[in-house]
A and B are shown apart, each in its own frame.
Chain A
């Protein structure tokens, strides 16, 4: 799969087309966040700035981000937090005025932070909150540690739910699934790089949607309206196709995208962003067909933002990117009302049914989370009411049945996942 073309420098649109009134900011928090920011290759969007926030002065010095912010000098004297996410949270709270200043006047914020780390886990939700208070639309991309890193993993799950409270969309990127990303003989480095590229693509997609003029344009207000609720589960996928049947190939690849099949990813979306970029020969009817199929696939309601851009450099190729968020609480506003253009939309019947199901799920998860914390990792006697949030969705067709524990392993989770066997689709 050749994906670099999206990042090719020559595939830039004329910067003159850019919408000057909108400001976007990519914020990397903590070690993993910084390296993700460094790895970003955005095609020269003028309105996009990069900001790195960390407590570790050396990590900051190595970063190539345009703007850097060091916090917590009083607590760690320029060193890392050592995985202490409560400390990181405290530091962020204490220095929130400085952070807020950086976030002021920004319309769109991308947060990149590894939730397993101290800084990434602790500070990012504070930063997300500040960003929301400043009136920005917040999208977060959050790598999660491997599940065998027991303590870090459970910490990351906590941070994730915290982050979800304040973001418009959170895309979790579990390290567990890195194995299923990339080619059959991919090295660890390549897998990480691949995950990084996916983040780049997501951000580029949203940026080009907002900043550039295309065949079918999306207004920033539309985007805001679609995602102007609290983020529940999110989905993010990418597909690319080439040749005569480009759109079909791209659709196929999109459905296969490993990012869409991560444990924590929703299979349905209330708010969906679809961006199709293709060469000049892109047919309108094909576009329509594609958007129809994607909508159907993700059972999207009325909040669909559809954008189509032409990029001559793509030639025969065509790319599809989807980003979706599922609202966990029907019609609920975000904790912090960001701006005046927020619109309350009546839910359709269909959506309500869909959401009520999700809500049940959430309640179940909350209950089980509380239990799991109380009981630790012990095998429970009563399995029917018990499920871990992070493991729930790995069970596929057995999602609705009780867990199937044998010597500490849930046999309903596919054997190839538990044994770490690579499957080449």
Chain B
């Protein structure tokens, strides 16, 4: 029997909903997809609940209509500058006398790592496991191996309870459940960076409208994730202030004529703001547009550079840096990013098998949600009870919030 699952991303410019069908053999096919403009968000945070709810509900309804079914629960993407990541460590000595590692040892180490409570008013969204060390050696699955001590770490992401709760409320108001909250950056990375890339080490930068999500993989595991509260809207805002034009014209100019760096051909070139050359229309120097965007883009990557610090080293990032999200469509952004970050940057592609309609950089997060949600993120050696039934239920206990 196939199963219907859904995913929702409440983005700053658009709400997106997907309905997927999981066949018995585990294959996922997307059967419904919809995207609606969202005006109730600023910088990845909900400022107008009603507007957000309208947009999200319309998106879910459309996606359901398209798929011809209904969804009971969805994976929800979580972003916003309120999210913080910290590394938590736990360790345990192998308890059995024959020094054989059991699942129980891993559990104890995990428990110790996750013991740390979030600050008041905040809650953990995610515990993303980093590699397991058995006596200092990286082991993907140490169960059954010989050793004395288990070390494991979790990249723990905590967020503002209020912000997460309101996002969940938007969904539950539509009478469906949130089966799990997933960090946008990790969702996008799941989609655009395959296991090989993640093992080689890669940095995925998702340039959204409101915020920029970054996640860094090292040896296949998340080593860092972060949210920078600067996105495509900031470029629009800068253009609107700098060229003294309305926001909607700034947005239009950004999409039609925006470039990440000025080049000599921009000199003297003028583009029209409205395009119909009536009263009120005016021409704008293309150089001014690219100048304004350039300063902002450079600053954004400088912040990313600062945030990552020493993690940004060529040897650990053999997979290079991937750009995704709507903002990655800006022409020339890769070369600017390469210059600032000092490591080759390229636009992310999608794995084969995804229809061209869906394979847009701005859909990376919502697609990734489904894929990440379906994967198993438990500890090795555990009895995978949830694999059969419990995917939908696994959440609340982990997230600690929601229904």
- Show the binding face of A for B, using Cβ within 8 Å: 248, 251-252, 255-256, 260-261, 289, 293, 394-398, 400-401, 404, 406, 411-412, 414-417, 419, 421, 423-425
Contact = CB atoms under 8 A, between A and B. Distances in A.
Interface in B240-254: 240-244, 247
B152 interface: no
Contacts of B242: 414, 416, 423, 425
Contacts of A411: 229-230, 234, 299, 303
B305 interface: no
A169 B299 CA distance: 38
Nearest to B42: A401
A416 B279 contact: no
Contact of A414 (B238, B279, B282): B238
B288 A424 contact: yes
Contact of B237 (A396, A421, A423): A396
A406 B233 CA distance: 17
A395 B233 CA distance: 12
Contact of A424 (B236, B285, B296): B285
Given A396-B240, A412-B43, A415-B295, 6 more contacts: A396-B237, A397-B240, A400-B47, A404-B230, A415-B299, A416-B295
B57 interface: no
A415 B43 contact: no
Contacts of A415: 234, 238, 292, 295-296, 298-299
Contacts of A424: 285, 287-288, 291
B303 A406 contact: yes
Interface in B285-314: 285, 287-288, 291-292, 295-296, 298-299, 303
A289 B279 CA distance: 10
Contacts of A421: 291-292, 295
B42 A416 contact: no
Contacts of B229: 404, 406, 411
B330 interface: no
Contacts of B279: 248, 251, 289, 293
B284 interface: yes
Nearest to B238: A414
Contacts of A255: 244, 282
A365 B81 CA distance: 25
Interface of B: 42-43, 45, 47, 81, 228-230, 233-234, 236-238, 240-244, 247, 279-280, 282, 284-285, 287-288, 291-292, 295-296, 298-299, 303
B282 A252 contact: yes
A234 B251 CA distance: 28
Contacts of A419: 295, 299
Interface secondary structure of B, over-half rule: helix
A400 B42 contact: yes
A13 to B, nearest CB: 30
A412 B234 contact: yes
* List of 10 A-B pairs having minimum Cβ-Cβ separation, nearest first: A414-B238, A401-B42, A415-B296, A397-B237, A396-B241, A415-B295, A396-B237, A416-B295, A415-B299, A423-B242
Contacts of A248: 279
A404 B81 contact: yes
22 contacts: A256-B282, A261-B244, A289-B279, A293-B280, A394-B241, A395-B237, A397-B240, A397-B247, A398-B233, A400-B47, A404-B81, A406-B228, A411-B229, A411-B230, A414-B234, A414-B241, A415-B234, A415-B295, A416-B292, A421-B295, A425-B242, A425-B243
A406 B300 CA distance: 11
Given A293-B279, A423-B291, A416 B243 contact: no
A425 B299 contact: no
A411 B47 CA distance: 18
Given A401-B42, A404-B81, A417 B296 contact: no
Contacts of B42: 398, 400-401
Contacts of A404: 43, 81, 229-230
A258 to B, nearest CB: 8
A423 B288 contact: yes
Given A397-B236, A412-B234, A423 B292 contact: yes
A168 B97 CA distance: 89
Contacts of B236: 397
A261 B241 contact: yes
Contacts of B241: 261, 394, 396, 414, 417
Contacts of B237: 395-398, 412, 414
Contacts of A423: 242-243, 288, 291-292
Contacts of A417: 241
B246 to A, nearest CB: 10
A421 B241 CA distance: 13
Contacts of B233: 397-398
B295 A425 contact: no
A293 B280 CA distance: 9
A414 B297 CA distance: 11
Contacts of A289: 279
A424 B292 CA distance: 10
A360 to B, nearest CB: 16
Contact of B47 (A251, A252, A401): A401
B265 to A, nearest CB: 16
A414 B296 contact: yes
A248 B281 CA distance: 10
A64 to B, nearest CB: 36
A401 B231 CA distance: 14
